[in-house]
A and B are shown apart, each in its own frame.
Chain A
Amino acid sequence: MTDEPYRWLEAIGQRREYVESRLHGGSPILAACLHQGLLLLGVGTGQSKVFEIFDRHAMAGIGHPADLERLRQSAIDAAHLEAFTRAPDDVSLRRLVSFGIAPTIKVAFEQLFSPPFLARTLFVELGATPTEDTLAHVDFDGTFAFQKGGCRILAEPGTDTGPAEAFLATHQRPEFTLPAAAQLLLSVWTHLTQGAALTTDATPPPRLAELIGSRTLEAGFLARSHRRAARYLALTPEQLGLAPSPTP
């Protein structure tokens, strides 16, 4: 197969369709760069979508849990080795993604007799200011793209994220508090998953349980001002000002 270019291309195409079909139904992830820090928000089953990688680094992903786990472990190994053999400040998202994660994913995707990564991931790095925060979108074929500051949506392939991205570009502000940002990201999540209208006028905002059902809100926050080197905090809905269930 591999010595016939057409069949190789055909096989790669089929592999792409297969991976995209397996990513179908993945719950979106949203990220926002704030003055307070960098917020990652998703809805999953608890410790399933948003993870700490290193002092100023985190990741979130949609896809097969085992593949997300492989990528998470690989990123953690690389970051800690780099920090120990050089220094924590030498751990950079650009090097982690460009020279470590993305090539590994690309090789797995293009080697037809090895399993591809069924995962679409977002890696983030906390900078000194919101505009210096780095967000890296890494796709299942190893394609990656960096972004400085702003917001980012990670959704299943084929999702039209255009309106939601435009909405976030208009309404999300770095000076937002954590609860305000979380509420906005959650409203975008409900738009992407349930087709709810994009609005900031929901007063009072809907209860969390009405939005996500029995699933778990997963929020990771890289705090910009923190006494310790490890900036990652796993936040609960209460810490985000999101009431978990309707009051009786």
Chain B
Amino acid sequence: MNAVLTAEGLKKSFGAVTAAANISLAFDANTVVSLIGANGAGKTTFLNMVTGYLKPDSGRIMFDRRNIVGLSPRQITKLGVSRSFQVPQLFQTLNVRDNLLIAESIAGAKDPQAATDAALARFALEPYGHQQAGLLPEGIRKLLDVAMALSSRSKLLLLDEPTSSVSADEKFAIMDVVMGAARAAGVTVIFVEHDMDIVARFAGRVVAFYDGGIIADGTPDTVLRADSVRRYVIGDEVPHAAA
């Protein structure tokens, strides 16, 4: 398989805090990968480095066989890396339709209106089309945020806690919609998630972060059962002898 994104020896520290300690990861095309870890483990820092928001102290990030370290978020977005945010980043005073229309127009869709209709349908947002984005319930705002990120030019979709601050009974429904849309668009997905049920259900591969490093990487079955992950990420009591 060919890797869409490859990180090689990424290092980043904020003062005395090491947010990335020599991280090397490769992501294959058309896979769904979940990044897990406690707060401060370095998951969001990793996303921020990939999207150009933060510059790693050293290391390379190859996207489509091109080193993207040093490019701005805008330039990286133009290459096909899209992201959603933990706190949805919307155009609050505009309606849902205009939010998507702006996204599709910037992405250079041939027919932005048609692309917007398709996005509304794909994300089940049609009933909200004319509602102001700032007044929507959180779950819908989350969906709209992802819908705006996933435009016609996306190749890699990064989701930062797509189900945080959404009620437990909505989480699966939202993820079903998001993953269905991502699959239909044929993009690679990397998502940061704290809910292990969501991780187990939707990820094909799980990467566990701890203290700026990677402590486990593999299928959900193996990673979620690993002692180190249970101890440092999930917070289970692990018998000492087993550790």
Same assembly: no
Binding site for A on B (CB under 8 A): none
Binding site for B on A (CB under 8 A): none
